[in-house]
Amino acid sequence: MIKRSSEATDQAWALLGGDPALMAAVEYGGTETALPARLPVRETARATVAVCALAAAELLAARRGGPLPRVRVDDGAVATAFASERHIRRDGRSPASFAPLSRYWRTADGWVRTHANYPHHRARLLAALGLPDPGPEADAAPLVDRVAAELAGREAARVEELVYAAGGLAVAVRTPHEWAVHPQGAAVAQRPLLSLERIAEGPVRALGAPSGALPAEGLRVLDLTRVLAGPVATRTLALLGADVLRIDSPALPESQELHDDTGLGKRSTALDLARPADRAVFEELLAAADVVVTGYRPGALDRHGLSPQALAERRPGLVIGQLSAWGSYGPWGGRRGFDSLVQAACGIAATEPGPDGGPGALPAQALDHGTGYLLAAALLRAVTEQRAGGGTHLARFALAQTAAWLARDVPHDDGVPEPGGDGHDPAPWLAGGEGPLGRLRYARPPVEFTGSPRDWARRSGRWGADAPVWL
């Protein structure tokens, strides 16, 4: 491997409170043409995976004693993993892409980006625009034309507020300067990439030496996240030996194709926390959990007693991860959001234009994936700290803060490459085998250290079909 320094890795590791001396254990190599972009996407991706692998190696060394395992970061493996949702195949079938109403639209004064992959978001978008919903089975082309005609006569910022008021998802496409002077953009700029802090006292959780090279062996993780960033984090904890149980509401739909990718190594169940019987089951799970990860908009789970403060009181010594799109502060602190919307709002779409000169996108959903690996790293570091000194620990992340780090603070290693075909062949980093629902092809995990697992112990099953119990 070629050993290189990585300023971005140093930055992230320092924010995680890691010992800078451990950075000497990290080696980098692989194809440097992967993830080409005007912004330093390759460097960001490499750094997030590096600190995740280093945090895993640190926890493993702490639990079993002995030297710190060497960490290896391969750019090809990282690039493949950062597009894992594109590489997933079940019985050879390609995954569905963005829904027809999830796209950029011209407005009277610019562009707006919508997200309508889920049926309820689609319905709210159409209701906000005063358009009837013909249903998901109807021909999409006439509906796309009607939405385009409706938006062409409206101002982008007004569409943003109108759709938000209806519970839908749309943002005006802004330049970096426009985002910087926006109240939410200004609030994000005042925040660091991440925060990891001890928020309350709590007992040390005894974790003995693992039976092998699985640093998270014995950890019980409640996964209350959806879509990509949070599930990438918990998928990584499952790779490293944790018993991860994802819990969703049966009232919220989920894509089985997306779960095929992000459900690797995990189990999945459905509980309605408004039902007393399901709530009792959840409380039993929480009482034995070591880590809780939430990925809903800020405040959405508070009514269920799942705010960080409430969790700290009910389960002292817990490690808590909290993820959102825009942060829990500022005028957008309570809003929903996804990677594509954050890219549009914060200036990335304008910085990375499409072939037609209109707004574009990064070569991967790097905000989701990068934040996911950073979140996993923070949780592993918190477990290491908790194992030594107890306490209740909270890691907070926002996709908008990751976007600010990417656009402002991560340097290019080798100049500023122009976007285009990267010539990256993902084949060496793809795996496959029979799963509960058929033959699955998926991206291998990029987190690697001496003796680390090279695949998940289980392949994804049917979403929501597992028993709500710890193994």
Q: What are the average pLDDT values for consecutive 10-residue runs of the chain, which has 471 residues?
A: 69 96 94 87 96 98 96 96 96 88 97 95 96 88 96 98 97 98 98 97 91 95 97 98 97 92 98 97 97 95 94 96 97 96 98 95 97 98 96 98 96 62 83 94 98 96 97 94
Contacts of 421 (CB under 8 A, 6+ apart): none
**Among 14, 96, 18, 131, CA closest to 382:** 18
| Cα–Cα distance, 192 to 173 (Å, whole number) | 23
Contacts of 410 (CB under 8 A, 6+ apart): 7, 8, 11, 39, 40, 43, 44, 47
For residue 167, give the DSSP letter. Answer: T
State pLDDT tens for residues 357-375: 999 999 999 999 999 999 9
This model's pTM is above 0.85: yes
**Among 358, 322, 367, 371, CA closest to 340:** 367
CB atoms within 10 A of CB 463: 22
3-state secondary structure of 40: coil
The predicted pLDDT at position 419 comes to: 54
The predicted pLDDT at position 413 comes to: 73
Contact 193, 405 (CB under 8 A): yes
The predicted pLDDT at position 231 comes to: 98
| Cα–Cα distance, 370 to 193 (Å, whole number) | 11
3-state secondary structure of 437: coil
Contacts of 331 (CB under 8 A, 6+ apart): 183, 184, 187
Q: What are phi and psi of 430, to 5 degrees?
A: -110, 145
| Cα–Cα distance, 222 to 84 (Å, whole number) | 23
| Cα–Cα distance, 131 to 146 (Å, whole number) | 8
The predicted pLDDT at position 97 comes to: 79
**Among 287, 286, 288, CA closest to 301:** 286
Torsion from C-alpha of 170, 174, 176, 182, nearest 10 degrees: -80
| Cα–Cα distance, 190 to 180 (Å, whole number) | 11
The predicted pLDDT at position 253 comes to: 87
State pLDDT tens for residues 18-59: 999 999 999 998 876 789 999 999 999 999 999 999 999 999
| Cα–Cα distance, 376 to 232 (Å, whole number) | 8
The predicted pLDDT at position 417 comes to: 52
- Determine how β-strand 111-114 pairs with β-strand 104-106: antiparallel
CA distances from 467 to 149, 245, 273 (A): 47, 9, 16
Contact 406, 369 (CB under 8 A): no
The predicted pLDDT at position 1 comes to: 43
The single-letter code of the amino acid at 405 is W
For tokens 């033959």, the residue is 439
| Cα–Cα distance, 187 to 318 (Å, whole number) | 29
